[in-house]
Structures are given as C-alpha cells and as structure tokens.
Structure 1
Amino acid sequence: MNSLYEQFGCKDKEELYDMIKNEDKTVQPLTDFMEFSKADIRNKNKAISEPDTLIKYLKSTKMPTVDSGTVVFVNTKNQPVYLRKTRLSRKNDIKDTLKEGLLAGGTRVFLAFNEKSPKDRIDWAKSLFEEIGMKVVDQLTYYEDTNKLYSNIGDRDYNLTSSYEII
C-alpha cells in the first residue's frame, strides 16, 4: 500500500508540503480536497440560504486570484457538495471543475472571482454552467485591496476581517 507521499511521487511530508505550497498542478486534487474539507468541517453541510452563510463558507478558503475562481457546487437543498479552485486561463481546468462538480452531485453553483479577473473569462466560465442548465445562484467578486467580497444577490459588500461564525 502506498503512502500519501508516494501517491504524489514524494519521499516525505516536507516534499509534499513544498509541492502544495508552490501550487504544483500534480497535487491539485489533494489541495482541492483540503480546501473543501476545511470549509465543510466548519460549515457542517449547512444549507447556503443567504449571502451571509456563503461568505462564512468562503471565508474559510483561499480567496480567488486574478487567474483563479472558486466554484462551490451545491445540491438542490443548497448544501455544499464540492468546492474547487479553477484556473480561468485554462479552459480544460474549468471543464474538469464542471465535470467533478456534477459527479459530486452538484445541481447549482456559487461563483467567486477576483475583481481583476478578465471579464470575458468570467463570462465564458459562467456560460458553461448555464448552458447545461446549472443555475448560478450568486456570483461574488473579491476585492483584494479592501479584503471584501461583493454579493450580486445580496447587493452589498462583506468585510472578510469581520468575525463570522457558523452555528
């Protein structure tokens, strides 16, 4: 039986840690699982029924960069079933994200993008979900300079340095 380190071609935990820290593409599935686990443990599968709940959920993950977006797949009860960071510059990465979210049981999505992400890439990614009938429940914009997320549905900013607790 292979150890986790061997599974990713590493000799020890330090080497695997370096690969995760440097965002090596070969450990992306592990990184995605860790992000989902952190959010899911804190969230306890609570349904996302309002923007505040989504903000609490996203706050426990790494915020989107210029070239990445966060996709939260939810089931029909708006309970998170899968979370993945996706590279906007790689169309196959977005398609893989969609495929994995569907396999996890996702029927709708919440999207979060960086304010500096190219609008055409965001629109293309969003259209992929909509073309197959997957509803985009809300799209959030992350503002790095102010550390805030803007919810289109909530029509307001959420300060990420504020204390949010999931009960």
Structure 2
Amino acid sequence: MSIFGNSIFGNKATGIAGGAPASDASEAEQQNSGDQKSDAQWREELTPEEYHVLRQAGTERPYTGEYWDTHTEGVYQCRACGAELFTSTEKFDSHCGWPSFWAPLAEGNVRYIHDRTLGMDRIEVRCASCDSHLGHVFEGEGYGTPTDQRYCINSVSLRLVAKETPSQP
C-alpha cells in the first residue's frame, strides 16, 4: 500500500489531493497568505530558468540539471525558500534524467495537486512553504523502492546542502 493510502493516487475527483480543486486552493492561499511574495519579487530573486520552473510550473530538459546524477550526501532544500524537502538517503537512480526520490523528508514539507495539463493525469509536487513547483510523483512504475513511488523533481527547484564530513586530525 502507498504511504499516502488513497489520498493522492486513489481519489482523482479533487484538484488537491485530499482537498479542494487546485485552482480554487491556489487562489485562496495566495489571497489569504500575508507573507506571500509578489510576482515581481519572485522575478527579482530568481533566475529566469528558476522562475519558469518554480513559479510557472515549467520543466527543465532531462539530463541537464545539476543534481540528476549526483550522489553527494546531504539535504535538498527548496531553491525558492530554503525549506528542507528531500535527503540523499531517499534519492535513487531512476535513469529518467531528473533527480528521483522515493519519499520526501517529511510528508508535511510538500503538497500535492492533480495536474491534468498536456492531456496527462499526474500528481504535481509543490513546496508546502512557498508553493513553488518542484516536479511530479509517480507510483507503480516497478522501481525497487520502499514506497514504489518516484518523486521526479527538477534540479533547478532544489539546492543541495552537502553533509559535512568530519575533518581529519
């Protein structure tokens, strides 16, 4: 059984897994959040590529991102706000061209939206802190991971903070 039970993969009638339709929730969150940055602020803080992926739900080209094949130990943060999202412990080689993880660092650190763009039915993964687009999560692809899930995340959405190694005397 999925770590999500039926919350994101079983009920496709809702826009946000376990919640309201995606467009309604996004608009409501943006209107009700006093600390939400304006579009102009995001454009100023992020590079054009970061803005395209993080704020416009774009996708970087496969096999071009900084972390798709890295094996460095550490924590992956949201590039927009610094929230800790994934660790190298859950990262695995899926050979899809993007960093892949079998679970987030903590379930509350990410949120899910049903994504029906481009004629597909997918689950979008967003940062729970700043609502930035990270990528998508897929289930049942046959990878030998504990959750049978693949969080396919854009490198440009992440910043790796490498684990410090003890210094030699």
Do the structures match in fold with TM over 0.5?
Answer: no
Q: TM-score range by the shorter chain?
A: under 0.3
Question: Greater relative contact order (Cα 8 A, min sep 6): structure 1 or 2?
Answer: 2
Q: Which has the higher helix share?
A: 1
